Structure 1
């Protein structure tokens, strides 16, 4: 086929518009962050000393960027630091951490992007192509994060690497029931497949955009081989397939599922999902600001950190100091591919732990972390005990009579002697075909007391009753697990 041309064959290069194709050096990008097949043969299998050398170089480079950013310069100067004080990755502990609360303060003081970005709307005409994504907003007002072309492409390469190592190949079809919106997850998989893998992406959006029945019909018609979305919705699709289409989703011959298991420490959610779909399901971890930070390889013995792109520390929730190997704490991220804004020692307040520094059976020395274990800022203090709503998952899924869905409600009630007392009710959905519920409530209350360290009430509800509260069954955004109705926390709803 012959394409028509304009009289000026150099029209594109002569344009004064900020064309995306001119916004970054693609060859330089893939030298720094190799494409999936090259990465698997090189950096992925690099010895620890080589990985450390890469981290050292990129860390010092991003610290230089930080000194030119007003948000970091102010915080680092207040901590008594000067340029030149940070000379190696070992010095990272000298830099103060920050949280989403600090970012929110920055946004309020200097809207809409804050001094955290070091960027104003007035600079848009000279900035070149930018993409804005936001946090999910499940714990407050969504926070904007700008991506320049380099970061937008780099994060897609990271996601493509994970998919390639898990088995994605040219000619596969990935269905993405996550809307390409201001949230990042749908875009991440779309670009990874479309731009860097030769995989056909089906961006069907959430169940609100494309009904569950249509999702399945599209998957069957176009031969979907991989799916990417939250496990709750994947289970819902399996249910709809059976009840409404008379279809066993295992007949779709899916290669694998990419999802986010959360604190599925006993593997009950994974086993349920893999059994219903008849394929392997891979866990992943990431956030809006840090993108695809960790993923499971085919060994499935922990989530490999993207060591050459994101440096993860684990710090004690109370003291902010590094924890001993294998201990749980807050995940703190430094991102090597972002400069607008730079991300340097961002305390995500996601709970996790490093499982291993040793070489994996897949051949990689990249460190491995445990499942995402919940959020430290979603913790509730219940009669002197720290309770994490996500920690209910193993208990709720331990009995096959439940749907695996739950929601926690914390309230302040009048105690036996008139003194106020904090109570938590855990509402648990029961399957329609569960049969007798005898002993279920008592068993769940006993196990939750053992695992949470404090007594809670269990209320059994009908299947589907928590769909609105917990934000499941294909709605936009992550599932929610807690509302705190105590006067000081009125209306606080979190993951």
Structure 2
């Protein structure tokens, strides 16, 4: 009895791997080694032309999106008013507060995401959230192209920093609703031939076990929060009598934040005996800016995201070299488009020429802090993250600090004060002169005398992210609380 052959039945399910034209995707956005040999070395004119092409295509999506159509129409714009990327300044900016408002009024995902239920009938979707730095985490949706870019942009960065097939990359970020762990996992597994060791944070895999795994399985690259990297080195020394420099690590990939004098970087490089590359990303764009091996500024990821730097108060473009808010337009996003999204992260552009690495991708200094965490103390604007260089200027500190703003009323006079709590290492030789040193350095850096309170190691653990999910909290503003 013969078996009758029948043609395979076609599935009606939204199968992920059939939802992308992979050849077209990689032709437009090359994979890491091809990217490094080609687009990474384009001239500034070539980059701008590509951005313009992508931007005009993105604008068609924008006009079909109710969130943007309402915002743009409200300021009198019509589709024909935007002829090229130079016209982007005509579009109103928005920020995370606008997304939260949209999602509250149009739950759960907002007008910015369109009809999610309908689209899911034909398109696989992934849900992630912001880190909740400025409040309740907000949901962000990814269609297949957006999800791939999380891995692809991260893979390009790791490749340029030196990751190659066979490397073993330890990832102390949990693959959960946050995005960092997923980005690095996909980069290694899907695009680099590197082994992702997804240990998760210290809350998932203890710091001691993190080090044991690295020794047993041959970890030679880490993608890790810098504060946790110092904690890992301490645990290795104190609990395992092991020097992490013996791991022979290629490099650490970290978001160093406002480490303008490289004190934090130097400490980490001394602890680990390897290079530390600064990286900057958000959950919407993936990896947005990063250092190449020459470390002369952080290259914007120019072909996937268009960056502007604008004034904090007026929203107008600032000159290169001046500090302002980063505004991004993510050129590849069609699910939850991001067009002139004010990240409210502070930086300045430091270079627009060709780098020694061969790239013309513009370079920013660092992520200097968040403008929405700024507080005014006696008329002076203070960004809590700007305390980092002073805190790191003395090796007796753990590098952890917390700013506390309070309002005092004495004899009818209102006076705002800020106290900076600073952790001191348990093995510090002594505390003598440390308080005075930090006071003097902060006065020099910030232009204001602040109160310094030295506290023992781990006293600020509640607000730190050492081994846990999320970013550290650096400011508690008690001035407007009811008493």
Is TM > 0.5 for Structure 1 vs Structure 2? yes
Structure 1 position 204 matched with structure 2 position 199: yes
CA contact 1:23–1:149 (8 Å) conserved in 2: yes
What is the CA deviation profile of residues 121-140 of structure 1, one whole-angstrom value per residue up to 9, with x for unaligned ones?
Answer: x3254241100111001211
Q: Secondary structure at the match of 1:247?
A: coil
Q: Secondary structure at the match of 2:165?
A: coil
Query: Which of 30, 34, 48 is 1:34 aligned to?
Result: 30
- Mapped to 1, the partners of 2:418 and 2:6 lie a distance apart of 69
Shift of 1:290: 1.6
RMSD: 1.5
Query: Which of 175, 180, 189 is 1:180 aligned to?
Result: 175
Taking a change above 3 Å as real, the CA distance of residues 441 and 9 of structure 1, as seen in their structure-2 partners, is farther
Q: Secondary structure at the match of 2:267?
A: helix
Question: 1:194 is matched with which residue?
Answer: 189
CA contact 2:350–2:363 (8 Å) conserved in 1: yes
- Mapped to 1, the partners of 2:41 and 2:120 lie a distance apart of 42
Question: 2:448 is matched with which residue?
Answer: 454
Taking a change above 3 Å as real, the CA distance of residues 327 and 125 of structure 1, as seen in their structure-2 partners, is closer
Structure 1 position 20 matched with structure 2 position 21: no
- Mapped to 1, the partners of 2:149 and 2:404 lie a distance apart of 40
Shift of 1:80: 1.1
Q: 174-183 or 154-163, which moves further after superposition?
A: 154-163
Query: Where does structure 1 lack aligned partners over 5 or more consecutive residues?
Result: 1-5
- Mapped to 1, the partners of 2:6 and 2:406 lie a distance apart of 70
Shift of 1:155: 2.5
Taking a change above 3 Å as real, the CA distance of residues 127 and 411 of structure 1, as seen in their structure-2 partners, is farther
Structure 1 position 340 matched with structure 2 position 335: yes
What is the TM-score normalised by the length of structure 2?
A: 0.97
Q: Secondary structure at the match of 1:487?
A: coil
What is the CA deviation profile of residues 285-323 of structure 1, one whole-angstrom value per residue up to 9, with x for unaligned ones?
Answer: 111112111111000111111111000000000010000
- Mapped to 1, the partners of 2:55 and 2:137 lie a distance apart of 28
- Mapped to 2, the partners of 1:52 and 1:215 lie a distance apart of 43
Query: Where does structure 2 lack aligned partners over 5 or more consecutive residues?
Result: none
Query: Which of 409, 414, 421 is 2:415 aligned to?
Result: 421
What is the CA deviation profile of residues 146-198 of structure 1, one whole-angstrom value per residue up to 9, with x for unaligned ones?
Answer: 01001111221111011111110000000000000111000000000000000
Taking a change above 3 Å as real, the CA distance of residues 465 and 72 of structure 1, as seen in their structure-2 partners, is same
Structure 1 position 463 matched with structure 2 position 452: no
Q: Secondary structure at the match of 1:14?
A: coil
Shift of 1:203: 0.5
CA contact 2:161–2:292 (8 Å) conserved in 1: yes
- Mapped to 2, the partners of 1:289 and 1:202 lie a distance apart of 24
- Mapped to 2, the partners of 1:344 and 1:127 lie a distance apart of 25
CA contact 2:168–2:221 (8 Å) conserved in 1: yes
Query: Which of 41, 55, 63 is 2:51 aligned to?
Result: 55
Question: 1:472 is matched with which residue?
Answer: 465
CA contact 1:33–1:154 (8 Å) conserved in 2: no
CA contact 2:150–2:186 (8 Å) conserved in 1: no
Shift of 1:10: 6.0
Q: Secondary structure at the match of 1:84?
A: helix
CA contact 2:164–2:194 (8 Å) conserved in 1: yes
Query: Which of 401, 424, 434 is 2:428 aligned to?
Result: 434
Query: Which of 84, 87, 92 is 2:83 aligned to?
Result: 87
